[in-house]
Amino acid sequence: SAVISQKPSRDICQRGTSLTIQCQVDSQVTMMFWYRQQPGQSLTLIATANQGSEATYESGFVIDKFPISRPNLTFSTLTVSNMSPEDSSIYLCSVGLAGPGGYTFGSGTRLTVV
Amino acid sequence: DAKTTQPTSMDCAEGRAANLPCNHSTISGNEYVYWYRQIHSQGPQYIIHGLKNNETNEMASLIITEDRKSSTLILPHATLRDTAVYYCIVSSNTGNQFYFGTGTSLTVIP
């Protein structure tokens, strides 16, 4: 399985600012995904990060709020823009290898907006 | 959207088998059943997956009913470190998105 490095592991940010989260994978992967986990809740898929094209967003998530980059097959970033306290969550990167098998998740970025 | 339903919480005595059920009555023929767990403050960890046959690995066993509408994850000898939220997910393969349901919070009791 792939090994994921996600940075930062945690941050405290002022409302109205933006934070960019990085996801680095130790091997080339086709599929990369970004999730949000609000306090005490399950994981919610934000978007699929597509290499060479725009990300595909799930209902309720928009590019202006969560811009995503995927410059190559091993790296992606998620930006949380114009943050408010409601954006306080854990943000997780996930990757999947071709064929049936398990997805691997990063350890997450714990974001607190004050 | 998640296509699975699981009990919200379960308790299990340490050393006993933990049996976690999952209903996925709308599963398609090409969809696998995956199980993950999330220990507090960590990313989800893969446990096991299967299509229609029962599966076993070093962590757990997966029992899928013949009609594939439900499954059970079995942790044969639960330890305190197995206390976590367990998620059952159906997906056609790793080329498609994973949608998480609410999961089952398992507490292993000494």
CA B11/CA B100 separation, integer angstroms: 21
Tell me what the pLDDT averaged over chain A comes to: 93
* Phi and psi at residue B80, to the nearest 5°: -60, -30
Report pLDDT for A100. 56
Tell me what the pLDDT averaged over chain B comes to: 93
> Terminus-to-terminus CA distance in chain A, angstroms?
36
CA B74/CA B79 separation, integer angstroms: 13
Share of chain A above pLDDT 90, in %: 81
Report pLDDT for A113. 98
pLDDT tens column, A93-105: 999 865 556 789 9
CA A55/CA A13 separation, integer angstroms: 25
CA A17/CA B44 separation, integer angstroms: 28
pLDDT (tens, 9 = 90+) of chain B, 110 residues, equals: 668 999 999 999 999 999 999 999 999 888 899 999 999 879 999 999 999 989 999 999 999 999 999 999 999 999 999 999 999 999 886 567 888 999 999 999 99
Report pLDDT for A102. 73
Q: Do A48 and B44 touch (CB under 8 A)?
A: no
One-letter amino acid for residue A67 of the chain:
P
Choose from B94, B99, B102, B105 for mutation: most chain A CBs within 10 A: B94
pLDDT tens column, A2-35: 889 999 999 999 999 999 999 999 999 888 999 9
Query: Which residues, numbered 14 to 73 in chain B, qualify as contacts with chain A under a Cβ-Cβ cut-off of 8 Å?
Result: 32, 34, 36, 41-46, 49, 51
